[in-house]
Amino acid sequence: MNLKVILASASPRRRELLNMIAIEHDVIPAAIDESSRAGEAPIVYAERLAREKGAAVARCHAGALVISADTVVVIDDRVLGKPRDALQATAMLQVLSGRTHVVHTAVAVTRDGGQTVASAVESAQVTFRALTDHEIASYISTGEPMDKAGAYGIQGYGATIVERVDGDFFAVMGLPLRRCVDLLERLGVAYEFRALESAEAR
């Protein structure tokens, strides 16, 4: 991949996932208004934000390929964003406890300063085991829930409270890799497998 790649996200999980499949990139988070619109469906909202994040960064980096994403957690037709505080995180986890919810992660690939874009949404169903109040409080005390949609992260302590995932696991983490590669190829950018640099070589 000869193009410069920019990840338009401050998420360390998304950066780790791109590193995992050896896509070298810079990180330039997008600053946009992330408010939802009246009557906007969650899946539409996620894809719009992913596209707007990519466009915002691409306008300032016309020669780069920009990867952007947005994740929403939905239960009972309600979108659970990032909790404002521990009280809100507690309320979210109580709602999710013992139930199945949906995670939508939209990913967009943008190039030519925003003139060319491809995007898609990958969804997965996530089932939580039943949680006690003590377990919820203990999990929140780790700090992990505070910067994540739905107040949990499946790649960390949250892995112990998730009973089942039906769908793309990486969509739940925040960046569906297969879909991302599909979009790259749709824009004429071939993904190439290459050996990861070993720790010894570094």
> Domain extents for the chain?
4-186
* Residues recognised as catalytic: 70
CATH of domain 4-186: 3.90.950.10
DSSP 8-state code for residue 11 = -
Least confidently predicted of 30-34, 118-122, 142-146: 30-34
d(CA 182, CA 190): 9
Model pLDDT, residue 196:
59
Confidence of residue 194 (pLDDT cuts 50, 70, 90): confident
3: confidence class by pLDDT, cuts 50, 70, 90: confident
Q: Is the pLDDT of residue 200 over 60?
A: no
d(CA 2, CA 34): 32
Interior/surface letters 129-162, b for 16+ CB within 10 angstroms, e for the rest: eebeeeebeebbeeebbbebbbbbbbbeebeebb
Q: Kindly tell me if the per-residue pLDDT of 133 is higher than 60.
A: yes
Q: Would you say residue 124 has pLDDT above 80?
A: yes
CB 165 within 8 A of CB 23: no
Residue-wise pLDDT for 82-93, tens only, equals: 999 999 999 999
